[in-house]
Structure 1
Amino acid sequence: MLYLIIKALHIIFMVSYFAGIFYLVRLFVYYKDTDSFTEEKKIILREQYLFMMRRLWNIITVPAFVIMTVCGIIMIFLNPYLLHAPWFHLKLTFLVGLFFYHYWAWKKILQIKLLAGKDLPISNLKLRQFNEIATFLLFLIVITVILKSTVIDYWWQLILGFFVLVFIITLTVKLVNKSKK
């Protein structure tokens, strides 16, 4: 029973974490979108976006990340079999990618704070593409957890499907950006 409660909390805070990280990177895009605005409008919006980023990061994203991670570690202690399951090793690999993405987002917030309202030295398109990385990681993690051992047997189809998904989303982002211009 305890394991199922911890698992439920893990899933709830995973959803909260991903909601936070999705919106955070979208705020980076909105911040970058202000580059072409008048100086007065740019200053006001950038201050607001930075305020929103800090609140989102400190009140939702990081606490959800910590609770999600702690619940995951507790589940490993309660069910050490997980460490012997090949599908779980694959999930851990994707989680390492998620931790790097989390670190990148944190560094981007620090960069925006240090720039004090100045332009971000990254293209809008790159930010929009980075915005999709969390989606890819969520896709890989959930598919791995749901399909478990089947993923190991059909890993190449998962990887192929992943690259097709990446291609479709990247193409969609580029097409949407072209239609905006």
Structure 2
Amino acid sequence: MLWTKALHIVFIASWFAGLFYLPRIFVNLAMVEPGSVAERERLLLMAGKLYRFMTLLAVPALGLGLWLWLGYGIGTGPGQGWMHAKLAIVLVLVGYHHGCGVILRKFKAGTMQRSHVWFRWFNEIPVLMMLAAVILVVVKPF
């Protein structure tokens, strides 16, 4: 079980690195001046590669988490309300990840209308989700 936990943590940390950085690329994309084709294309290439890579990292992170939960029974039984809250956070993060893909497609199509300020706020969501998830797992407040 300890190997599974260790790998889960590594994949989660790696997935979060992408969740932290991709929206930062979106900030830069939203700030690209009209006519700066090379800069826009470079940022889109970086964002596309990062999105594919972080998706590859998310799959084993989620799979190992399911294994720990269902296979080893971590977070099951009475008094495990923290796990329900953590699973809700995981669902929000999967939705956020998917939302990043939608945003990337809109940037590629040239239809994204959000400002760099909006993306700066959007960029904070995974930070708050990680903070909440770590507190739930370590402290187990309920």
Range class of TM-score, shorter chain: over 0.9
Quote the RMSD (CA, aligned, Å): 1.3
- Matched with 2:61 is 68
2:47 is aligned, of 53, 58, 74, to 53
- Matched with 2:139 is 147
The amino acid across from 1:139 in the alignment is L
Measured after TM superposition, the shift of residue 33 of structure 1 is 1.1
Larger Rg: 1
Larger mean Cα displacement after TM superposition, 89-98 or 43-52: 89-98
**Structure 1 residue 8 and structure 2 residue 6: aligned?**
yes
**Percent of pairs with identical residues:** 30
State TM-score, norm by structure 1: 0.73
State TM-score, norm by structure 2: 0.93
Over 3 Å counting, the alpha-carbon distance change for 1:9 and 1:81 in structure 2 is closer
- Matched with 2:90 is 95
SS in 2 for 1:8: helix
How many residues are treated as equivalent by the alignment?
Answer: 140
SS in 2 for 1:82: coil
> Contact 1:94–1:137 (CA<8 Å) still a contact in 2?
yes
- Matched with 1:176 is none
Larger mean Cα displacement after TM superposition, 122-131 or 82-91: 82-91
Question: Which structure is richer in relative contact order (CA contacts within 8 A, separation 6 or more)?
Answer: 2
Greater helix proportion? 1
Which runs of at least 4 in structure 1 moved beyond 3 Å after TM superposition?
A: none
Q: Deviations over 1:119-154 (max 9, x none)?
A: x30121111000000100010001110101xx12xx
